[in-house]
Amino acid sequence: MNNNKNWALHNSYLTLPKCFYERIEPTPVSDPTLIYFNENLAKKLNLEFLCYDKLLITNYFSGNKLPDNCKSLSQAYAGHQFGNFTMLGDGRAILLGEQIDIHDNLYDIQLKGSGRTSYSRGGDGRATLSSMLREYIMSESMYHLNIPTTRSLAVINSGESVYRESHNQGGVLTRIASSHIRVGTFEFGKHFCTKNDFKKFIDYVINRHFPDLLNEKLAYLELIKLIMKNQIDLIVNWNRVGFIHGVMNTDNMSIAGETIDYGPCAFINNYNPNTVFSSIDRNGRYAFGNQHKIAYWNLTVFAGTLLDFIDSDKNRAIELVQDVLNQFPIKYSIKWHDMMFKKLGIETPKDEDKYLIKELLSLMESHKADYTNTFAALTLNRTNKDSLYNSDDFKDWKNRWIERVKNEENSYKIMENNNPIYIPRNYLIESALTNCVNGDNKEFDDLLKIMSITYNYELNDHKLQLNPDGFDDDYKTFCGT
């Protein structure tokens, strides 16, 4: 049997100047055990042959064995972390290469927790099993919520101990992404590579990820516009389902417009735009309601790296870029309102409908109403027992809303498609992770199954919609690095 059958790995990143990467192989682990393997994703990636060989899966995705044609590397990048610029890079991740899927699209295959690199900055290059399982279930949940995201192909228990304030089981995740290039990669090119090498990198990004721009006269300016559009779409989608990324540093912003790096992420329960769960976000920089503002901030950093290539006259380049960035608030507002109209089943919005949105969110915040359950209840046209539904103000609002959508032909179908009935709630995630790390996968399996049908209103399992009183009051998430 040819173990490399259907591997179509190559690594176009190796065509770039060497300042952008380090050639390196994963560090083997002592006693790997397969915990999860995403067969459906493997088939999509033309890797179906792996589904029948558990040992091969374990060896490949622990980093103990590489495909014969694999030329692995770690990527260099920089980034603004909480507004402060620093040199970074793949300190615990190694890119195996790019695989062609069944639709002839290229996807990166990367191992996380696969050992030290020159970018490890004193770290051990490893990851905890719990943090890798968290990324697996969160990224797959986001995929089924119809949100652009990296995906997870496998999780391996390394059989080794990882120290993070205490000893933890180690893990290796296989991450799939359209790209692992970040805003921080552009920052690295701008500050640490020659201008000529940086231009080669920018042209590589356009050629691989945005080929429609190749014939554009102002391709670099158009690149800013396109990435801005993708980021607006992404953040609006996060808002649609109540997702809080938690650490929106520029090194965690993918130029492909995918959600990436799930360390301290969580989902909002009681609606409050100031909600923060990340233990390191002490000032609320990346709070739920701030995410679009941070996306704009990150985009200004990204645009700043391209100024030298947009116009030889720096003042003219700044003017052109500023004209593009100035469109962000308007474009975001239009997309956000359009999303909220869909959540309320409004097919043909009018200006006055914006007040319905504003009033509802204000009522939800004052009554600490559950974000997901409120919109699910409206979709099902049912009442809840919480204080929101018992308030006269909400009853008045709901009557006006019912009157507004009564002639909208597809109102409830639109709502079903945009309002998930299930999310990976914080208490469900924590319980599933704890049990899975201790060898009991049942809760994790059940949660994965539920999150694959998150818009299935026919199931309507009330237990999975519970928001336990007080659980989120002191709940904190961690990067897990």
Handedness of CA 463, 464, 468, 471 (dihedral sign): positive
| Backbone phi and psi for residue 182, each to the nearest 5 degrees, phi listed first | -120, 170
d(C-alpha 106, C-alpha 64), whole Å: 24
Question: How many Cα atoms sit within 13 Å of 377 on the Cβ side?
Answer: 18
* Sequence letter at residue 425: R
Q: What are phi and psi of 110, to 5 degrees?
A: -130, 140
Contacts of 368 (CB under 8 A, 6+ apart): 270, 271, 272, 387
Q: Is 251 assigned a catalytic role?
A: yes
Distances (CA, A) of 194 to 20, 75, 180, 208: 11, 17, 21, 21
Task: Give the Cβ contact number of residue 392 at 10 Å.
Answer: 7
What is the SS3 assignment for 257?
Answer: coil
Alpha helical stretches, state H, 5-93: 39-44, 54-62
CA distances from 282 to 275, 276, 277 (A): 11, 8, 9
Q: How far is CA 5 from the centre of its chain?
A: 31
The torsion angles phi and psi of 315, rounded to 5 degrees, stand at -65, -40
What is the C-alpha to C-alpha distance for residues 206 and 358, in angstroms, rounded to an integer? 39
Report strand pairing: 151-163 vs 243-244.
unpaired
Contact (CB, 8 A) for 415 and 342: yes
For the chain, the residue count is 481
The C-alpha atoms of residue 268 and residue 333 are separated, in whole angstroms, by 21
**Nearest Cα to 65, choosing from 77, 79, 52, 53?**
53
CA distance 258 to 256: 6
E strand or H helix at 142, and its extent?
helix 129-144
Taking phi over 0 as left and psi of -120 to 50 as alpha, with beta for the rest, 23 belongs to: beta
**301 residue type, one letter:** V
Q: Is the dihedral of CA 206, 211, 212, 217 positive or negative?
A: positive
The whole-angstrom distance between residue 101's C-alpha and the CA centroid of its chain comes to 20
Q: Which residues pair with 169 in a beta bridge?
A: 161
Which position among 251, 261, 281, 472 bears the catalytic label?
251
Q: Which amino acids are annotated catalytic? A: 251
